[in-house]
Amino acid sequence: MIDRQALRHNIQAEVGRLKAGCDLFMVVKANGYGHGAAQVARVAKEAGASGFCVAILDEALELRAAGFNEPILILGVTRPQDAPLMAAQKISATVAATDWLAEAAKYLALAPTKAPLRVHLGLDTGMGRIGFRTPDALKTATDFMTTHSTEFIFEGIFTHFSTADDPDDRYFKGQVAKWHALVDTLPHRPRYVHVSNSATSLWHDACNDNLVRFGVAGYGLNPSGEAIPQTPYPLEPAMSLTSELVYTKQLHAGESVSYGATYTAQQDEWVGTVPIGYADGYERRLQGFHVLVAGQFCEIIGRVCMDQMMIRLPQAYQRGTKVTLVGRDGDQTIRLQDLADYCGTIHYELACGFTDRLPRHYIN
């Protein structure tokens, strides 16, 4: 279940903190971090977002097909031959090398519709992923776009901080210095100058410049996990995950459960089967974790299967009884962060990993 009001709260709270002239683009890549890209985009637009960020071209085209006319920035590297399509759809491309521009220019020159491609230059200041690394390389790219002004609009420039969610800000400050060493060489700044992901805007908002790429915090998840628990406003998680019991039985002492017979009952106990498994994105690693039934924690026993898993119940329950895997039931709550801690990963991975077999129901 996805709570639109939680999304609204998080996005409006962030928009309310921004200085005049600073825009917020909602990051809706990976199907809106598992929440539903188009649905999240609609809420974000209502809450004050003026554009969107995605990772790949197909995600951008999905938003255009859904009727969104706002600016869309693709954060990953695309194919030069797709430049005419992006230009025609007014989709902004991230460019990390001048040879990409040179190849894209050839395709744009041959396109039947002569539309320029909006470009955001990516700078690598320490993320080590993509981007220009030296002033000379940056100058070569900007000079190329100047001489090919019918093919390109230099719309933006940005970098990505890799440790903005770390209480130790030494590496972050080093990236800030490298950012200025590059961007300050520009004779003219483009429309959008941006460095801030969720973590940067929450804890280093002096760096925001005129655009924030608002991602995981918009979904109510702390970018740091629990490394920096304090946030400028309460983050309200938008996602919960529930299922139900489809079968119950009494297991007798000495009987085992699931693949590998890794769990054997030490005494008679009630066991319920839940129709969700790792094919739905509920990690196999969660054996031994717990869910909530009638406000009580119930252990996941035996290995999580592809489509089902078993839980130990305190008593017999009727088929159809609600099972909460993420969210609140009674006085107890299971957070995505709790699952992530148990799996030794981050909540981003789990939220993005919930597959389309799980129907998304939207409330509020």
Which pLDDT tens digit goes with each residue over 192-216? 999 999 999 999 999 999 999 999 9
Mean pLDDT of 138-165: 97
Tell me: do 257 and 171 sit in the same domain.
no
Annotated binding site for substrate: 129, 306
Residues 6+ apart with CB under 8 A from 339: 283, 286, 289, 326, 347, 350
Give the confidence band of 10 by pLDDT, cuts at 50, 70, 90. very high
Residue 33 lies in a domain: yes
- pLDDT score at 250: 96
- pLDDT score at 112: 87
Structure tokens, 341: 């801690």
Residue 234 lies in a domain: no
Tell me: do 151 and 266 sit in the same domain.
no
Tell me: do 35 and 144 sit in the same domain.
yes
List, in sequence order, every beta strand (DSSP E) within 31-184.
51-54, 72-77, 91-95, 117-123, 152-159
Please say which residue of 163, 185, 219 terminates a domain: 219
Range of the domain at 318: 241-363
For this structure, is 192 an active site residue? no
Please say which residue of 186, 219, 252 terminates a domain: 219
CATH number of the domain enclosing 152: 3.20.20.10
Annotated binding site: 129, 306
Report if pTM > 0.75.
Answer: yes
Catalytic residue among 29, 192, 219, 263: 29
For this structure, is 247 an active site residue? no
Tell me: do 140 and 246 sit in the same domain.
no
Residue 102 lies in a domain: yes
Tell me: do 7 and 126 sit in the same domain.
yes
Contact by Cβ (8 Å): 7, 47: yes
- pLDDT score at 226: 92
Provide the number of structural domains found in the chain: 2
Residue 224 lies in a domain: no
Catalytic residue among 19, 114, 259, 322: 259
pLDDT tens readout for residues 29-79: 999 999 999 999 999 999 999 999 999 999 999 999 999 999 999 999 999
Contacts 24+ apart (CB under 8 A), 63-69: 63/28, 63/37, 63/38, 64/89, 64/91, 66/38, 66/41, 68/38, 68/41
pLDDT tens readout for residues 100-128: 999 999 999 999 888 999 999 999 999 99
